[in-house]
Structure 1
Amino acid sequence: MSAKECLACGKRPLDKDTIGINKKLLGEDIENYYCMDCLADYLGCTVQDILDKIEEFKEEGCKLFS
């Protein structure tokens, strides 16, 4: 798998949780990803909000975060 980079700022590589939350919130079939900072800007929330959601999804056993 090639290193993914942020669509907005070019940051790379993106870690698996960042890729997972992009897929969870934007659709599993997406091909372009945002880093945490740019995803938070795009969604109008904070990075901490996203990190909290990742923990919730992990606790629920979401396959994107296993």
Structure 2
Amino acid sequence: MAKSHSCKICFKENLTKDEIGATRKLIDKDAKEFFCIDCLADYLGCTVDELLEKIEEFKEEGCTLFK
């Protein structure tokens, strides 16, 4: 069974593979603590929609962090 991760800021439980992948892609490839999409957008100073758009771009490029 896969380990459940929670947000290091708001403690939201059961982060998605996109939230984990985005933290690894944009913050630290070897991250052990992760952000939910809302906290990551706030941390990066962008909107959730901008972040979701960027995640889709990474997926289309074939980034393996989102698989």
Question: Could you tell me the TM-score, scaled by structure 2's length?
Answer: 0.93
| Structure 1 residue runs without a partner (length 5+) | none
Question: Could you tell me the TM-score, scaled by structure 1's length?
Answer: 0.94
Distance in structure 2 (CA, Å) of the matches to 1:57 and 1:11: 24
Q: Does 1:43 align with 2:39?
A: no
Question: 1:62 — aligned with what?
Answer: 63
Distance in structure 2 (CA, Å) of the matches to 1:30 and 1:57: 18
Equivalent position amino acid for 1:40 in 2: A
Question: 1:29 — aligned with what?
Answer: 30
| Structure 2 residue runs without a partner (length 5+) | none
Could you say what secondary structure the match of 2:65 adopts?
A: helix
The alpha-carbon deviation at position 27 of structure 1 amounts to 1.3
Q: Deviations over 1:10-61 (max 9, x none)?
A: 0011000110010000111111111011111111000111100111001100
Aligned residues: 66
Q: Percent identity?
A: 55
Could you say what secondary structure the match of 1:28 adopts?
A: coil
